[in-house]
């Protein structure tokens, strides 16, 4: 599919992440106005809540679903409405549109807007579905012969996280306190994490409710869109707490997501297949067609005071072993309903080479191989003041489908939170 041209000139650049082909969904506000739904186009935000109020868009019929600080009400309307809304908005914004004069007053400069979480997160589940990441981490702790758990090649492994941990890009992250134990100590200690890390992930957003098990195709139909996701992780807290029930406080600090939901429709040209299976999957996980996406991704770090950010990893979403549709289908097998606004983290996305590793744990091989930055400093894990940025954009024919950066700066730990009791 070639570039779709718009009368908004900035949307026609080959460099923009937000051409007319994209139309990602976000929540924005300017000045003292209330946050509301908007769509990114070039260097502008289309105030779709305003277009709805003016009668130029009516996705909910007589009901207003866009003058709210989340896309959940719109998502709940279903696939047919998603498709018609996209087609109608594309027509309003396309080059030569007869409605240009009516729509133009509803454009807002993106530079003047504040962006918010684009949806209400109902529940959050994080998976461990990247084979390269799982193999790397398993090798560090168990050796290459036993790197993957026996179940890993058969099911998408995951855990239930906290929806309250999800924050939008640009939110500062505070280094957490937790219970740690050094191998050479008899007793654990309560202290700030010393091995704080990121994980490069994609997040899939459930746009339709389900009751009971669904197929992989039905799961794919339920997904509204995708965001970049940074699963901030306290590796030292995790090492002490994770047996026998898995991650808990190590993963409860924050999960940063990019501000724009890239709809599944915008990503259709970039579908690709999951890799060949090393073990045959059970029939309920069989994919009826390509369920992954070819999306180049990167991780960069900017130390406090540095004039620029340094890219430390490049990889691609197509490296995943299990697709979001497979993860969602497996999630429903026990009968638990899925809700509009549920968020599924993919798990860390790493490629086969060192430069493609999506976490500092892997890049520094557990801290044993410090990363050298161009400014002469080194990193094993994140230091206070570091800003981490995840970026990603699918590459089309003369256009890009981007997510907007997923950014977070690490602040120092609070003073002892229990000092008042001493």
Please state, in angstroms and rounded to a whole number, the distance separating the CA atoms of residues 328 and 253. 24
Residue 281 contacts by C-beta under 8 Å, 6 or more apart in sequence?
A: 154
DSSP 8-state symbol, 322: S
Confidence band (pLDDT; 50, 70, 90) for 4?
A: very high
Nearest Cα neighbor of 114 from 45, 19, 187, 53 is 45
Q: Where in the chain is the domain with CATH 2.30.30.230?
A: 9-116
Task: Outline which parts of the chain fall under CATH 3.90.850.10.
Answer: 124-421
CATH superfamily of 124-421: Fumarylacetoacetase-like, C-terminal domain (3.90.850.10)
User: In whole angstroms, what is the distance from residue 329 CA to residue 325 CA?
Assistant: 6
- pLDDT tens digits, one per residue of 144-162: 999 999 999 999 999 999 9
- The span from the CA of 77 to the CA of 69, in Å, is 16
Give the CATH class of 9-116: mainly beta
Read off the pLDDT of each residue in 341-355 and give the average, rounded to a whole number. Answer: 98
Residues 252, 232: contact at Cβ < 8 Å?
no
Q: What is the pLDDT of residue 192?
A: 97
pLDDT, tens digit (0-9, with 9 covering 90-100), for 354-398? 999 999 999 999 999 999 999 999 999 999 999 999 999 999 999
92-136 residue pLDDT tens: 999 999 999 999 999 999 999 999 999 999 999 999 999 999 999
Was 120 annotated as part of a binding site?
no
On whether 126 is known to bind a ligand per the annotation, the reply is yes
As annotated, the active-site residues are 133
Residue 422: band (very low, low, confident or very high) from pLDDT cuts 50, 70, 90 = low
The reply, when asked if residue 238 is annotated as ligand binding, is yes
pLDDT tens column, 185-240: 899 999 999 999 999 999 999 999 999 999 999 999 999 999 999 999 999 999 99
- What is the three-class DSSP state of 150? coil
């Amino acid at each position: 599919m070639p570039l779709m041209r718009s009368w908004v000139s900035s949307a026609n650049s080959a460099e923009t992440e937000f051409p007319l082909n994209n139309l990602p969904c976000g929540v924005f506000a300017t000045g003292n106005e209330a946050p509301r739904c908007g769509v990114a186009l070039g260097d502008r935000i289309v105030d779709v809540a305003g277009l709805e109020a003016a009668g130029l868009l009516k996705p909910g019929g007589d009901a207003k679903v866009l003058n709210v600080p989340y896309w959940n009400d719109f998502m709940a309307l279903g696939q047919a409405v998603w498709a018609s809304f996209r087609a109608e908005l594309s027509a309003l914004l396309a080059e030569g549109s007869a409605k240009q004069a009516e729509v133009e007053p509803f454009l807002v400069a993106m530079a003047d807007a504040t962006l918010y979480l684009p949806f209400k997160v109902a529940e959050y589940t994080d998976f461990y579905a990247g084979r390269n990441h799982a193999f790397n981490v398993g090798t560090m702790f168990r050796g290459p012969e036993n790197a993957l758990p026996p179940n890993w090649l058969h099911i998408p492994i995951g855990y239930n996280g906290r929806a309250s941990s999800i924050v939008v890009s640009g939110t500062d992250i505070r280094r957490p306190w937790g219970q740690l134990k050094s191998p050479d100590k008899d007793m654990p200690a309560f202290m700030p994490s010393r091995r704080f890390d990121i994980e490069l992930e994609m997040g899939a957003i459930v746009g339709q409710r389900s009751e009971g098990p669904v197929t992989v195709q039905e799961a794919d139909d339920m997904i509204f869109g995708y965001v970049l996701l940074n699963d901030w992780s306290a590796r030292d807290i995790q090492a002490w707490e994770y047996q026998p029930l898995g991650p808990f406080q190590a993963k409860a600090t924050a999960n940063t997501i990019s501000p724009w939901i890239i709809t599944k429709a915008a990503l259709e040209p970039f579908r690709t297949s999951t890799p060949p299976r090393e073990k045959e999957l059970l029939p309920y996980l069989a994919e009826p067609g390509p369920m992954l996406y070819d999306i180049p991704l990167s991780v960069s770090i900017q130390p406090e005071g540095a004039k620029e950010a340094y890219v430390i990893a490049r990889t691609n979403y197509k490296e995943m072993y299990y697709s979001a549709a497979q993860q969602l289908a497996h999630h429903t097998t026990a009968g638990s309903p899925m809700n509009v606004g549920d968020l599924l983290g993919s798990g860390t996305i790493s490629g086969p080479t060192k430069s493609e590793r999506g976490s500092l744990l892997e890049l520094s091989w557990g801290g044993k191989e410090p990363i050298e930055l161009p400014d002469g400093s080194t990193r094993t894990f994140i230091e206070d003041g570091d800003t981490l940025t995840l970026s990603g954009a699918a590459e089309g024919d003369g256009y890009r489908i981007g997510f907007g950066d997923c950014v977070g700066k690490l602040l120092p730990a609070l003073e002892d939170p229990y000092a008042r009791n001493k």
